[in-house]
Amino acid sequence: MEGRERILSRALSEIQAGMYVNLGIGMPTLIADRIPSDFGVMLQSENGLLGIGPYPNENAIDPDLINAGKETVSEIPGAAYFDSAESFAMIRGGHIDLAILGGMEVSETGDLANWMIPGKMVKGMGGAMDLVQGAKRTVVIMDHVTKRGDPKIRKACTLPLTGKAVVDCLITDLAVFQLKDGQLQLTELQPGSTLQDVRKKTEADFTIAPALQEA
């Protein structure tokens, strides 16, 4: 599998039947097409939709039916619409079981930076800051390094923070980390990856799980 497919495949395993899940803008939205229809999972979007389905084909596109990233989506039976106040009440009230978000940087203590790069135009933070505080579990998915080859898992984030110590699980194209006792712990290696690869491309300090799982 290519790097992105490895990330998405592993992230899908975090979703359990019956969960209420929020998929962040970017790569996380691609998970919607991979969720089995019999899972009974309800995908929630900050702009006011509970019950997002797979991406629609060209004949089924409704320009008024979009997710928080302004992509056209479909809906599943039982879907509901509501305003932003109700949407964020769900998030802040702890009713979202799982948030899967993209990341620009993650620190060795689980801090997350994922909403802006200084000097570049952004539309706003969106719901990320609320999601990392309100969701019961936060999973971050991202490439292990930047396009220039710089580490994205750092001793300390250099970009503006979304939240401190909020990353429960980090999935990259090379490895899977869990936050344990306030520090990232390497728990799995992605197929084709080695511990040497991970050490070389990770700036942050991390511990290694006693029984390191080969993904």
Give catalytic residues, as residue numbers.
46
Please give the Cα distance from 82 to 99 (Å, whole number): 19
Integer Cα distance of 61 and 128 in angstroms: 27
Residue 158 per-residue DSSP state: -
Provide the terminal-to-terminal Cα distance of the chain, rounded to the nearest Å. Answer: 12
Residue matched to tokens 């580490």: 151
- DSSP helix/strand/coil, 166: coil
**75-81 and 49-52: which strand pairing?**
antiparallel
How far apart are the C-alpha atoms of 15 and 197, rounded to whole Å?
A: 28
CA distances from 21 to 11, 31, 176, 203 (A): 12, 11, 20, 30
